[in-house]
Amino acid sequence: MLFNKKIRGSIWALILLSLGGWLLHNKIHPLSADGNPAFYLPFILGILNFILVPICFNFKRTAILAYLINGFSVILGTITMLHINLVALPTTLTVKYIFLNSNLPYICLLLPKLFIAQTILQFHYPTGTGRLFTSFWWFKHFIYVSIVYILGQILWS
C-alpha cells in the first residue's frame, strides 16, 4: 500500500486540497519566466505540499517535518492573501465583496489543511507532543510571522 491504512483518507484529503489549491493559484497567477518572482515561492510550496508532505506524513520519523512544512505554508499563504486584500480594500465594504471578491474563500480552503495535518500527527503521536504543535502554538507563530511580514513591508517599501 502507498499510505498507511489508518491515515490513508486523511493523506488523500491533504493531497487533494493541496493539489486543488496549487492548481487554483496557478490559474490565477500563472508562473512565467518574465513574471513576478513572488510567484515562485507559492509554486514551489504547492509542489512540496502535494508530493513531498504526504510521503513524509506516512512515516513517523518525518511526520513532524511534513507537519511543519504544511503548517508554515498555510500561515504564509493566509498572511499574503490577507495582505493583498488589505492593500486593495474598496472604499465601501459590502458583504458581497467580503464573501465573493476577497480572498476569504481561498483562505477558507487553505485552513482545513492545518486540521487534517493535526489528525495525521495525532496518529503518529497519540499521546501528543507536549506544548508543541497545538492550536495555540500555531496561533503564536501566525502572529510572529505576521509581524515579520509587516516589518518587511515597512522596511523594504
Per-residue pLDDT tens over the stretch 63-88: 999 999 999 999 999 999 999 898 88
Domain ranges within the chain, ordered by starting residue: 8-155
Query: How high is the pLDDT of residue 75?
Result: 94
Q: In the chain, pLDDT over 70 holds for what percent of residues?
A: 98
> What Cα–Cα distance (Å) separates residue 151 from each residue in 48, 135, 147, 156?
27, 24, 6, 8
| DSSP, residue by residue, 59-87 | SHHHHHHHHHHHHHHHHHHHHHHHHHHHH
Query: How high is the pLDDT of residue 128?
Result: 80
| pTM for the structure as a whole | 0.88
Model confidence band, residue 50 (pLDDT cutoffs 50, 70, 90) = very high
Query: How high is the pLDDT of residue 132?
Result: 81
Query: How high is the pLDDT of residue 1?
Result: 59
6 Cβ contact partners less than 8 Å away, ≥ 6 residues apart: 123
Average pLDDT score, the chain: 90
Query: How high is the pLDDT of residue 34?
Result: 67
What digits encode the pLDDT tens for the residues 13-43?
Answer: 999 999 999 999 889 888 876 677 777 888 8
Rounded distance between C-alpha atoms, residue 141 and residue 145, angstroms: 6
Query: How high is the pLDDT of residue 41?
Result: 84
Grid coordinates belonging to 2: 502507498
| Widest CA span in the chain | 54
Query: How high is the pLDDT of residue 135?
Result: 80
